[in-house]
Amino acid sequence: MPQGQKKINSPEWIARQEDTKAYRELRRCDLERDEKGKSFWLSRLSTENAQRCATRILKRPEYAEALDPLLAVDALRAGFWLKLMHKVIALGIFEVQSYWNHIIATFKQIADGRTLTELDVLLLEGKCPGRSEKDAEEIAALVDGGKLFPGADQQWRAGLLDRLKRMPVLVIPSLNTFFDDCRAMEEVVPCMYHIADKKPKTSCDHILRRMYTKSTGFETARELLWRFLLLQSTDLARAPTRPASRLLAKQRPGPADEERLHVFATLARTLGFGSENITQLTAVPAEMVIAKHALMRARKPSAYAVDRSHVEYIQEAMSKVCRGITQLPRPAHCGQPFSSMPHKSRHVAGFPDLLSFERDREHLSGHTSMPSLLEALHGTASIRVQSLCQAFFGAAVDMTGPGDQTERSCEETRPGGPAESGNPGVEGPGWPGEAGEAGEDPSSFSPDCVFFVTLVDDQWQTLEHVQPATRENLEHMATRLCSLGWSLRALSTEGRTGAITPEDCYACTIGAGSNTVLLVDGNYDSSAIHQHLDYLRAPS
């Protein structure tokens, strides 16, 4: 969408503002039970679609009440698009309220008590000053030109860019970015119904809560599912339910990739979700899926006149053969998959070689499905996925009503170890490698303590520790360490690592059952880190 002044002068933009004003008056009349006023302001909306959307919002008070504080701010309501609200409601994810709260909190922190104008929001929305040098240069030019916060004093404006870079927000949100992100979520939300049964007038969040079988950790498990879908949604597309006669102008997506679908169902079951769809998808062994795709790549069945039963028999035979293959020795250091080893493949014409089978088996196993959720991508794809998770699921609020609310706390922790706070670069007591030397008992420390450690001369050194390990405390400490040049890596209970952001620290440590965050610089050696990961296992 166009940025800045050009958008304000367009006829479409002016029509959106008029619809927003009419909706606010309509909402006021609805609260005052003024039926005559409701009819008047409903007729002032620009199109019949806008009238239908306004009526749908008023019939869903949870959405109307969540919109009220956002539309009450003059500068923030400029991006409201009434005619698209029917798509927002159709998504069926109540996490949109988290996004709206995210917008208010972000600009309250940016303005810091100064007057916020509509143009300030338009010029800052969608920018990523902490990750993009281009965006940082554009904001610096706007500050120097006096276009951002022109009424603020010069000293405050001079430090604006530095404050934006230190903020834990990846992408500066607004109502314009909200509707853009909702378009992206339109492709992702239907993928969740591969494992969940869609029910009319029931939110996806409510369905997932009913599917969750554990007593704690729902928020973390839900966020991991959504993050996986955001990364793999193109391979998990669902065919539309409308008949083909109503989709003549659209191309129907192909079936979901069976390998990705198997990994998705396995991940959901591992996280604690249960349903008939998950049971059916995971009932097929991973080897059978591997064999099927191997035969499809080899194109052998098409050369013979065989029916479905023959193909299934061949799949089963290949599965038995693959199970009997002698395992090749793994590398001495953990962390490297088989496919990264130098290996001379022996390929029999038409059939997959051993290396292909190993790659497929690693892809379908849980060994690679969980780390991929924490490993950062490169460039805008990483920022896009992380910003969607932060905005929609960072502080989700349940809007299902008193009868449907299920309070689940995310307090899964592991025992901690001793640590002393210190500045980066200052040698502190290692944990838990040097715990015996220091004479401390790791079990004497509270399980809600999280340690920030780094590898120095083959020894783990504790630079900082946070106690109590609340979400705010972890984000504050992680942001401070990142500003000093450190990068964050999460450590899973299985001994795998993945890049994370400061706002992910809580979900990837306390929520995931770990109490350690790795700190690395630009010259870190991944092989050396993986060799010493066993020393960071929390004591049982």
Residue with more model confidence, 259 or 510: 259
Phi (first) and psi of residue 458, to 5 degrees: 65, 20
Contact predicate 240/223, CB 8 Å: no
- Range picked from 331-340, 383-392, 401-410 for highest mean pLDDT: 383-392
Tokens standing for 62?
Answer: 């949870």
CA Rg, the chain, in Å? 27
Residue 516 is predicted with a pLDDT of 73
Among 204-218, 228-242, 378-392, the least confident range? 378-392
Q: Cα separation of 273 and 209, whole Å? A: 9
Residue 445 is predicted with a pLDDT of 35
Q: What is the mean pLDDT of residues 2-22?
A: 73
Work out the pLDDT band at 107, boundaries 50, 70, 90.
very high
Contact predicate 118/78, CB 8 Å: yes
Tokens standing for 275?
Answer: 């349903």
Query: Can you tell me which residue has the tokens 């109590």?
Result: 468
DSSP state of 170: S
Residue 27 is predicted with a pLDDT of 93
- Residue 198's identity, in one-letter code, is K
Work out the pLDDT band at 52, boundaries 50, 70, 90.
very high
Among 97-111, 130-144, 331-345, the least confident range? 331-345
DSSP states along 338-405: GGGS-------TTS--HHHHHHHHHHHSHHHHTHHHHS--STHHHHHHHHHHHHHHSS----S-TTT-
Residue 332 is predicted with a pLDDT of 41
What burial class does residue 148 get, using C-beta atoms within 10 Å of its C-beta: 0-12 exposed, 13-18 middle, 19+ buried? buried
Q: What is the mean pLDDT of residues 387-395?
A: 71
Looking at the predicted structure, is the pLDDT value of residue 28 above 70?
A: yes
Residue 31 is predicted with a pLDDT of 92
Half-sphere exposure in the Cβ direction for 537 (13 Å, CA): 10
Among 79-93, 277-291, 329-343, 443-457, the least confident range? 329-343
Residue 434 is predicted with a pLDDT of 34
Q: What is the pLDDT of residues 449-502, one digit of tens each?
A: 788 888 776 677 788 888 777 878 888 888 888 777 777 877 654 555 666 777
Residue 357 is predicted with a pLDDT of 52
List Cβ neighbours of 291 (8 Å cut-off, separation of 6 or more): 314, 315, 316, 318, 319, 322
Looking at the predicted structure, is the pLDDT value of residue 429 above 80?
A: no
Dihedral sign computed on CA atoms, order 476, 448, 394, 501? positive
Residue 514 is predicted with a pLDDT of 62
**Peptide bond before 468: cis, by omega within 30 degrees of 0?**
yes
Residue with more model confidence, 426 or 256: 256
Tokens standing for 137?
Answer: 């240069």
Among 41-45, 208-212, 428-432, 453-457, the least confident range? 428-432
Residue 45 is predicted with a pLDDT of 92
Looking at the predicted structure, is the pLDDT value of residue 373 above 50?
A: no
Looking at the predicted structure, is the pLDDT value of residue 394 above 70?
A: no
Tokens standing for 92?
Answer: 């069926």
Contact predicate 122/13, CB 8 Å: no
Would you give the distance in Å from CA 28 to the centre of its chain? 36
How many other C-beta atoms lie within 10 A of the C-beta of residue 56?
Answer: 16
- Angle formed by the axes of helices 258-271 and 354-364, nearest 10°: 40
Q: Cα separation of 43 and 34, whole Å? A: 14
Dihedral sign computed on CA atoms, order 452, 455, 456, 458? positive
Contact predicate 164/130, CB 8 Å: yes
Residue 356 is predicted with a pLDDT of 54
Contact predicate 362/208, CB 8 Å: no
Among 101-115, 138-152, 184-198, 394-408, the least confident range? 394-408
Looking at the predicted structure, is the pLDDT value of residue 24 above 90?
A: yes
Contact predicate 335/327, CB 8 Å: no
Residue 448 is predicted with a pLDDT of 66
Q: What is the pLDDT of residues 297-341, one digit of tens each?
A: 665 544 445 555 666 666 666 666 666 555 444 444 444 444 444
Looking at the predicted structure, is the pLDDT value of residue 210 above 80?
A: yes
Residue with more model confidence, 201 or 197: 197
- Percentage of residues in the chain having pLDDT higher than 90: 11
Q: What is the pLDDT of residues 494-529, one digit of tens each?
A: 555 666 777 777 777 655 556 777 676 655 555 555
Residue with more model confidence, 460 or 38: 38
Q: What is the pLDDT of residues 155-194, one digit of tens each?
A: 898 899 998 988 888 889 999 889 888 888 887 888 888 8
Q: What is the mean pLDDT of residues 338-358?
A: 46
- Residue 420's identity, in one-letter code, is E
Residue 527 is predicted with a pLDDT of 56
Looking at the predicted structure, is the pLDDT value of residue 446 above 60?
A: no
Residue with more model confidence, 396 or 281: 281
Half-sphere exposure in the Cβ direction for 266 (13 Å, CA): 19
DSSP states along 26-93: HHHHHHTT-HHHHHHHHHTSSSHHHHHHHHHHHH-HHHHHHHHHHHTSTTTGGG--GGGHHHHHHH--
Q: What is the pLDDT of residues 58-75, one digit of tens each?
A: 998 888 888 998 899 888
- Range picked from 217-231, 234-248, 505-519 for highest mean pLDDT: 217-231
Q: Cα separation of 216 and 411, whole Å? A: 7
Residue 310 is predicted with a pLDDT of 60
Among the listed residues 207, 365, 209, the one whose alpha carbon sits nearest the alpha carbon of residue 286: 365
- Range picked from 1-5, 85-89, 237-241, 532-536 for highest mean pLDDT: 85-89
Which residue(s) pair with 482 in the sheet?
Answer: none
Looking at the predicted structure, is the pLDDT value of residue 120 above 60?
A: yes
Pairing of strands 450-456, 459-466: antiparallel
Looking at the predicted structure, is the pLDDT value of residue 396 above 80?
A: no
Residue with more model confidence, 211 or 453: 211
Q: Cα separation of 265 and 282, whole Å? A: 6
**489 three-class SS:** strand
Residue 339 is predicted with a pLDDT of 44
Q: What is the mean pLDDT of residues 413-420?
A: 33
What burial class does residue 13 get, using C-beta atoms within 10 Å of its C-beta: 0-12 exposed, 13-18 middle, 19+ buried? middle
Q: Cα separation of 521 and 433, whole Å? A: 21
Per-residue buried b or exposed e for 107-118, using 16+ beta carbons within 10 Å of the residue's own CB: beebbeeeebbb
Contact predicate 480/459, CB 8 Å: no
Tell me the domain boundaries of the chain. Answer: 92-238+256-408, 411-536
